Amino acid sequence: MSTPSATAPSRRGLMRWSVAAAATAALVVSGSGLVVFAQSGAGESQGPQFAPISSVAYVEARLDLPAGQEEAVAQMLTAFPGFADPGSFDLKRDELLAMLAAEMGASAPDGDLIGDVFTGELGIALGDLESAMMGAEPTLVAGLAVADAEAAGAMMEGLMAGSGESTTESSYNDVTIYTDTMSSPPMSLAMHDAWVLLGTGEGTVEGAIDVLDGNAPGLAQNEAFVTAWSRLPTPRMGAAWMDLTSLTGFVELAGMMAEGETGMALPMGDLAGLLPKDMVASLVADTDRVTLDVMVTPGDDMPAEVLGVSLLSLAFPSDTQVYLETRELGASIETGLNSLAAILAEQEMMAADDPMDPSDPMAMFMDPEALFGEESPFTDMLGAPLPELLDFVADASFGAGLSSDGLWVGMAGEISDKAAADERVSNILGLISFFAAMDETGEIVVATEMVDDVEVTNITLPIDAMLAEEGVPLSLGDTISVAVTDDILLLGLGDFVQSAILSDGTDSLGTSSGFLDALAGDTPNAGVMYMNISSLLDVLDPMLSMMAPEWSEIAPYAAGIDRMIVVPNADDEVVSARMTVIVGQ
């Protein structure tokens, strides 16, 4: 391989390889890049053959789009401008490969860059991530798998010929390493054992060479990594793994910093048991969607996920644009407020020698007994201590929709204790009625009506007038409605409550084809977050066009996205979350 030229008119150092490698990895999840690298690989990856066992994160990009991913991506991208004609794919590929070659300072050889020269597998390993998050230089080594060593070597020669005098040359175990000393951090490049290696400094690349030669243990010998990686589907565009226990020290430091800022000690406990052990993720394309699956190995003391199946989506109209469903809302609120009470009690003990002045208005809010105790004034008024106020609510859902008429928002919660629900909702409404009677302006009105034998309380407030005063061009309506049926607590703006009571569920979100298709039978689960993006953008488009001039360029691509859903779940081994973005064809 030739010696780097010292007379190059412009330096194309190894940082160009870094930029090109990062850009190429990014292309695996971008619109145009997914297709231009489509070569239909066999599917199985070689894995992190070069990554040292000390690596705390590993990212894989499959630029060859193996095992049918090419066909899936090509079809999916027809939803976006510029990809309707399959014949344009080759042209886009040639243009992009030429651009990448020019960026690296080398001419692309004859044949396909991905397939003929490189296999299409790109891996990036990170070490000492915690230090990098604190501002230290990152430790990184990337490997691009080689299909034709001679052609790949010729590309490297072209790169080195124009690299400039800042590039030095060294040898390690008969492998030539080139280092760009002017980049920060210094970047080193080598080719060994069917891999082009790029790392932060000579020592990083030397470590990768040792792993490839079997002289040092690799990440593939990390049992936790192997177990997590085995959960990934073979047909995928990319994957990632991270050792989350490596962040324990960072989390502890963040807790101490938060305590210093707020004066409140957080109940950190045994972080090793509470934090998940590792995370693994995969990105997979289908003909009309792309799915990101994330799986974490729970810590030994992590609370178990609550799974369930709910019919609450039947209470929401079919045109609901944003929908969120959660499990055991009342219990979650109770746990959270009890944890806050424990923090306040600990702080009160620590401040025993310097108590707050009882006349200080904030004193009450730092007293856990005054806030959450049995003798608290809130307990007297509401009929239960604050943490237990909503313990009668099991699963709960929140939904919203935006149209030219304004915004509606609704909440529905399954009732586990009807008597408690009636009593506590009645107490809350009684307090609101009391304050309404004290309002001399007459702008707050509380009234009731019967809807299909269910009493609905309507609270009228000057909401739209307040929004107008703040310059918010949005109507929410002036009525908040509350009702308790035999099994559901309903709360909402607009006519949500009345419509939910009268609905038989046949024209609901829970029976709509778009929602059911996105949910894909993924039940029981730990909750749902669903968005009808195309419907929402139809309404927001005029506003976005006025607020952001660049929206006109983004809008045609955003219009290709139809829906999105996130579904958390769990089994005996992992806690998982599936995020699927569905495109319109």
CB 217 within 8 A of CB 211: yes
> Three-class SS of residue 426?
helix
Could you report the per-residue pLDDT of 282-312, keeping only the tens digit for each?
999 999 999 999 999 998 888 889 999 999 9
Could you report the per-residue pLDDT of 153-167, keeping only the tens digit for each?
888 877 777 666 778
Q: Using N-to-C axis directions, what is the helix angle for 15-27 and 88-104, rounded to 10°?
A: 160
Neighbouring residues of 15: CB distance < 8 A, sequence distance ≥ 6 = 180, 183, 187
Q: Can you give 522-565 as a three-state secondary structure string?
A: CCCECEEEEECHHHHHHHHHHHHHHHCCCHHHHHHHHCCEEEEE
Both tokens of 309, joined, read: 């199946």
Q: Which of 22-36, 38-52, 491-505 has the lowest mean pLDDT?
A: 22-36
Question: Above 70 in pLDDT, residue 203?
Answer: yes
* Rounded-to-integer distance, Cα 555 and Cα 542, Å: 11
Mean pLDDT of all residues in 164-175: 87
Of 406, 399, 401, residue with least CA distance to 478 = 406
Mean pLDDT of all residues in 83-111: 63
Q: Please give the biggest Cα pair distance in the chain.
A: 89
* Rounded-to-integer distance, Cα 113 and Cα 119, Å: 9
Of 188, 14, 4, 6, residue with least CA distance to 103 = 14
Both tokens of 573, joined, read: 């081994």
Could you report the per-residue pLDDT of 466-494, keeping only the tens digit for each?
777 777 666 777 889 999 999 999 999 98
CB 413 within 8 A of CB 407: no
CB 495 within 8 A of CB 484: no
Measured on CA atoms in the order 51, 249, 133, 26, is the torsion positive or negative? positive
Identify the residue whose tokens are 């390493």.
177
In the structure, what pLDDT confidence band is assigned to residue 68 with cuts at 50, 70 and 90?
Answer: confident
Query: Quick one: pLDDT at residue 30?
Result: 41
Rounded to 5, what percent of the chain is helix, strand, coil?
40, 25, 35
DSSP 286-355: ETTEEEEEEEEEPPTTPPPPP-B---GGGGSBTT--EEEEES-HHHHHHHHHHHHHHHHHHHHHHTTTSP
Query: Quick one: pLDDT at residue 71?
Result: 83
CB 14 within 8 A of CB 180: yes
527 Ramachandran zone, left/alpha/beta (phi>0; psi -120 to 50): left
CB 25 within 8 A of CB 193: no
Query: Quick one: pLDDT at residue 19?
Result: 46
Fill in the amino acid letter for 544: L
What are residue 511's phi and psi, to 5 degrees? Answer: -110, 0
Both tokens of 262, joined, read: 């707020």
User: What number of H helices and E strands is found in the chain?
Assistant: 19, 20
Query: Quick one: pLDDT at residue 35?
Result: 37
Radius of gyration of the chain (CA): 30
Question: Above 60 in pLDDT, residue 259?
Answer: no
> Three-class SS of residue 256?
helix
Could you report the per-residue pLDDT of 406-454, keeping only the tens digit for each?
789 999 999 999 999 999 999 999 988 888 888 777 788 889 999 999 9
Could you report the per-residue pLDDT of 552-580, keeping only the tens digit for each?
888 888 999 999 999 999 998 999 999 99
Mean pLDDT of all residues in 385-392: 92
In the structure, what pLDDT confidence band is assigned to residue 84 with cuts at 50, 70 and 90?
Answer: confident
Query: Quick one: pLDDT at residue 214?
Result: 95
Percent of the chain with pLDDT over 70: 77
- Judge residue 361's burial from the number of C-beta atoms within 10 Å of its C-beta, 0-12 exposed, 13-18 middle, 19 or more buried: exposed
Neighbouring residues of 37: CB distance < 8 A, sequence distance ≥ 6 = 27, 28, 63, 64, 65, 93, 114, 120
The helix or strand, by DSSP H or E, that contains position 378, with its residue range, turns out to be: helix 377-382
Q: How far is CA 485 from CA 123, 411, 491, 495, 499, in A?
A: 56, 13, 11, 16, 13
* Rounded-to-integer distance, Cα 47 and Cα 344, Å: 49
Q: Note the Cα 325 to chain centre separation in Å.
A: 17
Peptide bond into 549 cis (omega under 30): no
- Compute how many other C-beta atoms are within 10 angstroms of the C-beta atom of residue 80: 18
> Three-class SS of residue 8?
coil
| Averaged pLDDT of the chain | 81
Both tokens of 29, joined, read: 């999840």
* Rounded-to-integer distance, Cα 539 and Cα 544, Å: 10
Of 211, 192, 97, 213, residue with least CA distance to 146 = 192
* Rounded-to-integer distance, Cα 403 and Cα 541, Å: 11
* Rounded-to-integer distance, Cα 308 and Cα 304, Å: 13
* Rounded-to-integer distance, Cα 107 and Cα 571, Å: 50
